[in-house]
Amino acid sequence: MYDCIIIGSGMAGMTSALYLLRANKKVLVLESESIGGQIASSPRVENYPGYKSISGVELTSNLYDQIEELGCGYEFEEVLNIESVGDKKVVTTDSNKYEARAVIIATGCKYRRLNLDREDEFIGNGISFCVACDGAFYNDKDVAVIGGGNSALTIALDLINNTKSVTIIQDLDKLTGEPINVEKITKNPKVKIHYNSKVLKYIIKDDEFKGLVINEAGVEKEVLVDGIFVSIGTIANTKPFTNLKKDQWNYLLADEGNQTSEEGIFVAGDCKSKRIRQLTTATSDGTIAAISVLNYLKRFE
């Protein structure tokens, strides 16, 4: 039996593993996709303390090497269910069943995508989701923001200061963000807004991202930009955890120690209900969850 099973191998999950392993705990990490989570797909990370610039793959690989050297167990399996049986947790995957004293859920979330042709090729190289991560790459360039809610308007306002222009593509007849942000956006001469518009396809020339083709109120138009920021929401990866309390968007609710509604089950990273989702907050969550698990495990000593 493991001291702790960690579900997910992004920065939050692997940070938790690092702390637990250094405390000589027996740890198993379960991952259904690939090591590193969303940040592993970023070609350059420039907002993580201690690194002027590092690729997401290198950053997450370094952390993986750390926990592997400390003896972390690792299995590529999809978790289907967590069940409390007495004083232990039983984690069922698509291949096995595992037992542990505690569980940390660090399954993250996924950005909603437009799901258009060749999208995967240009994520991080023309198609972005995080302005804090990629905004600086578009200084003095033309960009577009897809979406008209609070998150999209926040991205647009952040981009306005350093870009040449910002074009907003909104599928409704108005912006739905907070009125104060709507006013700032609509009054800024650097912003152009396409209402009642849907993105049809990306414009790719010579294997470079060049812009979008949109349908605006029944009329097809080209929007030529250097890059886009897609802000049409996120999807929490919490579907298997039906016994735990979630917010209205299916993110897991937790206390200050990152314990969920069920004792002995903790959460870390982007699948947690919170306001800010960044690389640094993910590692912070992982630290808090691990320390909470260590305190929880004392009852079994």
Domains of the chain: 2-110+235-300 (3.50.50.60), 113-230 (3.50.50.60)
What distance in Å separates the CA atoms of residue 234 and residue 249, rounded to the nearest whole number?
A: 9
What distance in Å separates the CA atoms of residue 113 and residue 278, rounded to the nearest whole number?
A: 18
* Span 235-273, pLDDT tens digits: 999 999 999 999 999 999 999 999 999 999 999 999 999
∠ CA 140-145-148, rounded to 5°: 140
| Distance (Å) of CA 262 to CA 9, 15, 77, 105, 128 | 22, 22, 23, 12, 36
Checking if the pLDDT of 282 tops 90, the result is yes
pTM confidence score: 0.77
What distance in Å separates the CA atoms of residue 87 and residue 77, rounded to the nearest whole number?
A: 24
The string of DSSP letters for the chain reads: -EEEEEE--SHHHHHHHHHHHHTT--EEEEESS-TTGGGGG-S-B-SSTT-SSB-HHHHHHHHHHHHHHTT-EEEE--EEEEEEETTEEEEEESS-EEEEEEEEE---EEE-----TTHHHHBTTTEES-HHHHGGGGTTSEEEEE--SHHHHHHHHHHHTTSSEEEEE-SSSS--S-HHHHHHHHH-TTEEEE-SEEEEEEEEETTEEEEEEEEETTEEEEEE-SEEEE-S-EEES-TT-TTS-B-TTSPBP--TT-B-SSTTEEE-STTB--S---HHHHHHHHHHHHHHHHHHHGGG-
Burial class (CB in 10 A: 0-12, 13-18, 19+), 69: exposed
Checking if the pLDDT of 197 tops 90, the result is yes
Checking if the pLDDT of 41 tops 70, the result is no
Question: Which residues pair with residue 247 across a beta bridge?
Answer: none
pLDDT band at residue 38 using 50, 70 and 90 as cut-offs? confident
**Helical pair 279-297 and 11-22, crossing angle rounded to 10 deg:** 40
* Span 135-188, pLDDT tens digits: 889 999 999 999 999 888 988 998 998 999 999 999 999 999 889 999 999 999
* Token pair in block for residue 229: 């920021």
Share of the chain above pLDDT 90, in %: 81
* Token pair in block for residue 23: 């405390």
| Distance (Å) of CA 272 to CA 56, 62, 106, 108, 254 | 21, 24, 8, 8, 7
> What pLDDT shows up at residue 43?
65
